[in-house]
Amino acid sequence: MLAVAPPLLAGALATAAGARRTAAGERPGTDAAPAAWPGLTAPAGIAALAAGHHLWTVGEFTAPAIVLGLSVIPPMVVREVLAAADQRRRAERLAASEARLRHLVGDDRPPAGAAPVDRAGLVRALDRRTGGALLVVDLHGADEAAVPDGPVQAEVVHRLRSGAGPHDLVARLTDTEFAVLTDLGPVLAYALGTRLLGALAEPYPRAGGASRLRASVGLAETTGGEPEDVLRQADLARRRAVQLGRDRVEWYDAYLEEQLVRRLDLERELPGAVARGELDLVYQPVLALADRLPVGTEALLRWRSPALGTVLPEELLPVAADLDLLGELGRWVLDRACRQLADWSEGGRELWMAVNVTARELAAPDFVARTATALAAYDVPPERLVVEVAEPAVAAELSTVVAQLRRLPIDLLKVGPHLVGPGADGQRPLIDVVANLGDRLGLEVVVEGLESDAQVAGARRAGCHYGQGFALARPAPAERVEAWFEEFPSTPR
């Protein structure tokens, strides 16, 4: 006991001192691993000496002695397991420190001529990634049709690698789609996408002169999703960037996915809608404000899709424009509106029919000819057809339609209800100014969107002759509008 007590006491004091220093935040001053031989040889040597002394003094081992002798083995095993785990953690810290140092000095960049990984390699990298973001880059030729050739693609890869970080992974998905996998957070990943857009927009030297590319970047976070899900999300964000005009970066979110899925459904279902008989027109009467008698109607397009429900023009027309279906839809609307106007005119009622036309349709070379054909087919007087073009659409392509606008008679000026309200700083309502300008130019002013009697009164007080809106009459199918007409006398306007 006298021999064993001092080492036990010294060990307890040393353990307590070490625990106190560790609790205070002190760490070892070196990353070197401690020597392993004392921990292995000392317990075994002490156990062997104790066993020999026991045999010399007692001559045999009792059961309690054997148990006590064997009890030294489990602590030794546990200690070695803990030591191995500590060594593994130490090695991981060292590796992380080394990687961080390499990142700072930039000595682990991929070789300049290294090829980007393919989609399978990107999926494997995504499977190992626990944070960061994925950027999907879509390239478009400046003429909307050119596809980057081999040298340009090689330059694209070089610019992507130059703009990305040393640990970012560059992948080629198709001839025109690339991806960059980064460990940056959302804000820095968006900044990276913006830098890549700028780099990719620079001219590409090639035989016969430089060429330019337009790029769209979709971003998705890599946390909390399977690799294919992350790829799909980044690709949906890329599609959104393309739809919004390209040369931009878009983040993925759940609402974005709903919009894009809806858009894809529209693109899938719209072709053939005319042939399937899914289009319909509703008509909103235009009234004379003085006596509230009908003078005309506006034909409003509706797509009654069995799969998607009723689709309104503001959602339908952009899709039709992208699918190059505006001409087909416009011809159908014009034919159906002229036929309906002819039916209403048989009873002696003289109304006008307004059809909405986009600037692209108005600029089509055959617009005047096919309009004249539709009028002649149903024996509709040309003065009874109003071609309505929204001003923002005309302004966007003014140079392409100005010649036709000079040839076509402009009789009506349609304005929104926001002009009817009181002017700023007590000034008179803007509708007064517009009505006065229309009178000087010989144009009749139609105020649309009138939803209250006060707005109707304001438009009439300003001198506007015509109006339409829920306060006057709601859009309805042809049968209901015709029944509503029966309540009013037929008066030429």
Domain boundaries, the chain: 119-252, 276-485
Evaluate the CA torsion angle 267, 271, 272, 276 in order and state its sign: positive
Structure tokens at 160: 């992507």
Structure tokens at 181: 């996998």
Question: CA 261, CA 219: separation in Å to the nearest integer?
Answer: 17
Whole-number pLDDT of residue 28: 55
Q: Which residue has the tokens 């970066």?
A: 249
Whole-number pLDDT of residue 129: 80
CATH top-level class for 119-252? alpha beta
Specify whether the CB–CB gap between 351 and 295 falls below 8 A. Answer: yes
Question: CA 235, CA 216: separation in Å to the nearest integer?
Answer: 10
Q: Count Cβ atoms below 10 Å from residue 293 Cβ, excluding itself.
A: 16
Which of the 8 DSSP states describes residue 171?
E
Question: CA 10, CA 254: separation in Å to the nearest integer?
Answer: 64
Specify whether the CB–CB gap between 282 and 475 falls below 8 A. Answer: yes
Whole-number pLDDT of residue 104: 45
pTM of the model: 0.58
Same CATH topology for 119-252 and 276-485?
A: no
In order along its 493 residues, the chain shows pLDDT tens digits of 677 778 778 888 888 887 777 666 565 554 444 555 565 667 777 777 877 777 778 777 777 777 777 777 787 777 777 777 777 777 666 656 555 544 443 444 455 456 789 999 999 999 888 789 999 999 987 544 455 567 888 889 999 999 998 889 999 998 889 999 999 999 999 999 999 999 998 988 877 778 888 899 999 999 867 899 999 999 989 988 988 888 999 999 888 778 878 888 999 999 999 999 999 999 999 999 999 999 999 999 999 999 999 999 999 998 998 899 999 999 999 999 999 999 998 877 889 999 999 888 888 889 999 999 999 999 999 999 999 987 654 444 545 545 574 565 678 888 888 887 765 555 667 888 878 877 877 888 899 999 999 999 989 988 899 999 999 999 999 999 999 988 876 555 5
> What SS3 class is residue 135?
strand
CATH topology of domain 276-485: TIM Barrel (3.20.20)
The C-alpha R_g of the chain, in whole angstroms, comes to: 40
